[in-house]
Amino acid sequence: MKSEDRSTDRASRGPAGLRAGLTSYGDDGFSLFLRRAFIKGAGYSDDALERPIIGIATAISDYNPCHGANPGLVAAVRRGVMLAGGLPMEFPTVSVHESFSSPTSMLLRNLMSMDVEEMIRAQPMDAVVLVGGCDKTVPAQLMGAASAERPTIQLVSGAMLTGTHRGGRVGACTDCRAFWGRHRAGTLDPGEIDEVNSALVGSAGTCSVMGTASTMACVAEALGIALLGSAAPPAVTAARLRVGEATGAAAVDLARAGTPIKQIITADSIENAARVVFAIGGSTNAIIHLTAIAGRLGIPLALDDIDRWARDTPVLVDLKPAGEGYMEDFHRAGGLVTVLHEISDLLHLNVLTVTGRSLGDELERARPVRSSTVVRPRTTPLFTDGGIAVLRGNLAPRGAIIKQVAASPELLCVTGRAVPFDGVEDLASRIDDPELDVRPEDILVLRGAGPVGAPGMPEAGYIPIPRRLAERGVTDMVRISDARMSGTAAGTIVLHITPEAAVGGPLALVRHGDLITLDVPARRLTLDVSEEELDRRRSELHADRQPVASRGYRRLYVERRSQAVEASSESISTNTSAGVLYPSIRRGRVL
């Protein structure tokens, strides 16, 4: 960014430090006098109060073990801020953990984003450090900060360490699903599954594989909103603490420069982040989150863009669930820096980062690790045709997603009978019924689990293999739904079918025994039923498929959420949609 542009930004920000955002008493002088009096009661000196104020959004909670090491990380940020001449000010926000959020963490992502936005707006700070990691935390923080329009830098919590089970390395949560699948199939006894349960999570931190948390850490780095090299160091390492200190110092520089978030997160940096998702074999949830972040800044992101970028971005990172390694291995392989060097020809290298330098300049300063097999060279990719594919057809007229890199190759082009389930409760009650009419070659269908129907779009897309088939050795089947799937999961699973069943999408019309064709190379998902028959079924649909809520945030969500649709500049400007697949809330509205 040009120096004169930065000067203009600083001048346009208005009052800084304690003078910013004064509480209204009808007398600004008294407002400042009162604010200074109270903060001095906490022991602050006049010298400290004249320094750039760096807010630190902590999201620490005993219910969030992903953030269990964050107190030490926040201390490192504070140290970095003070060494650079700033004043660190911590503040809490909503903290969302996937396993401790009922009915689903995605429902609460938007609540957290509202909290982050309003607390940034309400309190005086010249820049803000967002500290978090578990799945929905990073997108919620970036969504809120984007709307608050304050200089921002992201710091992720870092991944957990792996554990050991009977001599083998294990980690959450891809291995969680693999061992539980064996337990369901009857090949793992209750004693051993209990042993596994105590070994899967080796320390505090986010999942140790390339799930949603690790994917979003890489997304933040690729966007330029986090320091280069900050995504991969594990949570409980000295490297993570050094990243925290450097982030604190960078936040002070960012505050002095006054660089707004909209100059860092741009259409070009969104494309960079999307390509990184594909190159790392990242979570399908990242598409939902990227779209919501982009929507906050008025940047359209369409499924056609996603599919086009994915087709020529090879998968290079050999981590579970698409490969074999863990985040510790990725860190030793140079982390995202090595990936960015490998795909640099596909990136916009002139985009601005939080350091004030371009991504290209940052990459020139950072050395890749070329000797590791965890990050493959372009000549020998893990997968050539993009980790994620966008499907369309009469069953998904506005799009669906499949993580093809984590699917069984023999199931990517098949036709099978539909075995439908109406919602998560129906799935749970019937999936293991010994009388269920299901065969290995069938296609399991879950509907009523989208953003409207659930509500909140739970991670129910990883439909379990029916027990009697699992006991026969079946480990994968084609599964399709309007739900999400954990980024740690693998399988031939079609997700985010839009429009969803709850608003009358074609998924609501599927009957047991209908033939469905999945053709990933052709990007097609079709229900082999005549239009006349579909029209007849449509006329029989009930109008009471959508949930209701009596009060609180859930009522706001249910009443104001929108159907998951493809982004357009018109929909963003009129506040009717945040883009693909999941609504986001801005200033109390569902977009």
Q: Note the pLDDT tens digit of each residue in 360-401.
A: 999 999 988 877 789 999 999 999 988 999 999 999 999 999
Whether the CB-CB separation of 126 and 18 falls below 8 Å is answered with: no
Asked whether residue 41 is domain-assigned, the answer is: no
| Neighbouring C-alpha atoms within 13 Å toward the C-beta of 498 | 24
Q: Which of 171, 197, 223 is the last residue of a domain?
A: 197
The alpha carbon of residue 500 and the mean position of all alpha carbons in its chain are separated, in whole angstroms, by 20
Q: Would you tell me how many other CB atoms lie within 10 Å of the CB of residue 392?
A: 19
- Based on the fold, state whether residues 186 and 208 are members of the same structural domain: no
Asked whether residue 47 is domain-assigned, the answer is: no
Q: Which residues are CB-neighbours of 24 under 8 A, at least 6 positions away?
A: 31
Omega prior to 314 cis, within 30 of 0: no
Asked whether residue 375 is domain-assigned, the answer is: no
Whether the CB-CB separation of 91 and 57 falls below 8 Å is answered with: yes
Asked whether residue 66 is domain-assigned, the answer is: yes
User: Which tokens go with 381?
Assistant: 């990719």
User: What is the reported pLDDT for 556?
Assistant: 81
User: What is the reported pLDDT for 252?
Assistant: 98
Q: Which of 365, 399, 423 is the last residue of a domain?
A: 365
137: closest CA among 88, 183, 98? 98
The alpha carbon of residue 417 and the mean position of all alpha carbons in its chain are separated, in whole angstroms, by 32
Q: Tell me the CATH number at 475.
A: 3.50.30.80
User: What is the reported pLDDT for 104?
Assistant: 82
- Based on the fold, state whether residues 78 and 171 are members of the same structural domain: no
User: What is the reported pLDDT for 534?
Assistant: 95
Omega prior to 103 cis, within 30 of 0: yes
391: closest CA among 272, 516, 298, 562? 516
Asked whether residue 440 is domain-assigned, the answer is: yes
User: What is the reported pLDDT for 12?
Assistant: 55
User: Which tokens go with 52?
Assistant: 């750039």
- Based on the fold, state whether residues 151 and 177 are members of the same structural domain: no
- Based on the fold, state whether residues 95 and 243 are members of the same structural domain: yes
Q: How many domains does the chain have?
A: 4
- Based on the fold, state whether residues 125 and 215 are members of the same structural domain: yes
- Based on the fold, state whether residues 479 and 564 are members of the same structural domain: no
User: How far is 591 from 292, CA to CA, in rounded Å?
Assistant: 9
In the chain, which residues have pLDDT < 70?
Answer: 1-13, 543-546, 561-591
Give the alpha-carbon dihedral of 477, 483, 484, 490, to 10 degrees.
Answer: 0
Q: Which residues constitute the domain of residue 193?
A: 163-197
To which H or E segment does residue 534 belong?
A: helix 531-539
To which H or E segment does residue 219 belong?
A: helix 212-223
Q: Position of tokens 């069984």?
A: 408
Whether the CB-CB separation of 406 and 487 falls below 8 Å is answered with: no
- Based on the fold, state whether residues 231 and 281 are members of the same structural domain: yes
- Based on the fold, state whether residues 572 and 493 are members of the same structural domain: no
User: How far is 311 from 272, CA to CA, in rounded Å?
Assistant: 14
**What are the DSSP E strand ranges found in 373-451?**
389-393, 396-402, 413-422, 443-447
User: What is the reported pLDDT for 13?
Assistant: 62
User: Which tokens go with 23?
Assistant: 């509480």
Tens-digit pLDDT profile for residues 15-58: 889 999 888 888 999 999 999 999 999 999 999 999 999 999 99
User: How far is 256 from 251, CA to CA, in rounded Å?
Assistant: 9
Q: Which residues are CB-neighbours of 570 under 8 A, at least 6 positions away?
A: none
Asked whether residue 36 is domain-assigned, the answer is: no
> How many helices (H) and strands (E) are present in the chain, helices listed first?
21, 16
DSSP per-residue letters across 491-520: SSEEE--SS-GGGT-GGGG--TT-EEEEET
Residue type, 412: L
Whether the CB-CB separation of 387 and 404 falls below 8 Å is answered with: yes
Compute and round to an integer the Cα radius of gyration of the chain.
24
User: Which tokens go with 406?
Assistant: 């984590």
| SS3 category, 557 | helix
- Based on the fold, state whether residues 292 and 394 are members of the same structural domain: no
Whether the CB-CB separation of 135 and 216 falls below 8 Å is answered with: yes
- Based on the fold, state whether residues 567 and 519 are members of the same structural domain: no
Asked whether residue 289 is domain-assigned, the answer is: yes
Whether the CB-CB separation of 478 and 416 falls below 8 Å is answered with: yes
To which H or E segment does residue 10 belong?
A: helix 3-12
User: How far is 467 from 185, CA to CA, in rounded Å?
Assistant: 6
| SS3 category, 265 | coil
Q: Which of 180, 197, 214 is the last residue of a domain?
A: 197
Q: Which residues are CB-neighbours of 470 under 8 A, at least 6 positions away?
A: 181, 184, 185, 186, 464
User: What is the reported pLDDT for 468?
Assistant: 93
- Based on the fold, state whether residues 352 and 214 are members of the same structural domain: yes
User: How far is 460 from 446, CA to CA, in rounded Å?
Assistant: 8
437: closest CA among 493, 506, 514, 492? 514
Omega prior to 413 cis, within 30 of 0: no
User: Which tokens go with 247?
Assistant: 């982030």
* Entry pTM: 0.92
Burial of 24 (0-12, 13-18, 19+ CB in 10 A): exposed
Asked whether residue 23 is domain-assigned, the answer is: no
- Based on the fold, state whether residues 291 and 421 are members of the same structural domain: no
